[in-house]
């Protein structure tokens, strides 16, 4: 079987991690989850930057416009604190806003902490790139993407990544295939295709 190559931008927004005060955990956590969840070969572009709106905007523009990333995931900087400006930067570079992603992210997190309502995560489209703001903690990143399951593995709350492959389809991106043991992508029957139709160029 051959699968389309996926290009993914990973952006960790943290004053302290970017200054070397501690080691960034956001990008390694995102990378590990995506490598486990996707069957496609992935080209990652990684960026570690401080909580500065201008720097975040420039990084997102570069990943979308120059690197042509199909998916861009940010981690960190989405709370109500003064230095949390990732949502503002994301909205500033957006061509379209995708509010359903943020709504579902907060719904998932509310199963664990009431302070989930303080999160301001957003998702947008810029050109042919989907940009997602994700939590900063590794455990929360996985829960948000994967959703919640009971002890028998049945889905309790849908993770946001189930909708990502079809969204990428709709913005003229490559066909994403998921490892269904981790997350099952949802597509209408008319949008399904055999993986062998892809190209691994």
Q: What is the pTM of this model?
A: 0.93
Angstrom distance (rounded) from CA 84 to CA 154: 35
Any idea what DSSP says for residue 165?
H
What backbone phi and psi angles, to 5 degrees, belong to 8?
-125, 125
Q: What is the per-residue pLDDT across 91-128, written as a single tens digit (0 to 9) for each?
A: 999 999 999 999 999 999 998 889 999 999 999 999 99
With pLDDT > 90 as the criterion, what percentage of the chain qualifies? 78
- pLDDT range class, residue 196, cuts 50, 70, 90: very low
Average pLDDT, the chain: 92
- pLDDT for position 125: 98
Task: Give DSSP secondary structure letters for 84-130.
Answer: --HHHHHHHT-SEE-HHHHHHHHHHHTTT-GGGGG----EEEETTEE
Closest to 164 in 3D by CA, of 70, 29, 82, 30:
70
pLDDT bin (cut points 50, 70, 90) of residue 169 is very high
Is the pLDDT reported for residue 35 higher than 50? yes
What kind of architecture, by CATH, is found in domain 6-197?
3-Layer(aba) Sandwich (3.40)
Pick from 62, 61, 132: nearest CA to 97: 132
Segment 128-154, tens digit of pLDDT: 999 999 998 899 999 999 998 778 777
- Cα of first residue to Cα of last residue in the chain, in angstroms, is 13
Q: Above 60 in pLDDT, residue 201? A: no
What pLDDT was estimated at residue 111? 87
User: In Å, how far from its chain's centre is CA 181?
Assistant: 19
**Considering only 51-65, 153-167, 173-187, which range has the smallest mean pLDDT?**
153-167
Q: What is the pLDDT of residue 124?
A: 98
Please report, for the chain, the start and end positions of each structural domain, with discontinuous segments joined by +: 6-197
> Averaged over 156-184, what is the pLDDT?
95
């Amino acid at each position: 079987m051959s699968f389309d190559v996926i290009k993914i931008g990973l952006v960790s927004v943290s004053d302290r991690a970017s200054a070397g005060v501690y080691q960034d955990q956001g990008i390694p956590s995102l990378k590990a989850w995506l490598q486990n969840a996707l069957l496609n070969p992935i080209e990652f572009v990684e960026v570690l930057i401080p909580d500065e709106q201008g720097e975040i905007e420039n990084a997102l523009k570069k990943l979308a416009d120059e690197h042509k990333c199909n998916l861009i995931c940010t981690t960190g900087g989405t709370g109500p604190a003064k230095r949390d400006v990732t949502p503002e930067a994301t909205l500033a570079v957006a061509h379209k806003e995708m509010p359903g992603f943020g709504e579902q992210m907060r719904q998932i997190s509310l199963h664990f902490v009431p302070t989930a309502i303080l999160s301001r995560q957003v998702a947008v489209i810029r050109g042919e790139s989907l940009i997602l703001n994700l939590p900063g903690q590794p455990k929360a990143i996985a829960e948000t993407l994967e959703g919640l399951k009971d002890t028998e593995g049945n889905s309790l709350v849908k993770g946001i990544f189930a909708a990502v492959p079809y969204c990428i389809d709709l913005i003229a991106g490559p066909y994403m295939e998921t490892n269904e043991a981790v997350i099952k992508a949802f597509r209408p029957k008319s949008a399904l295709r055999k993986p062998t139709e892809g190209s691994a160029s």
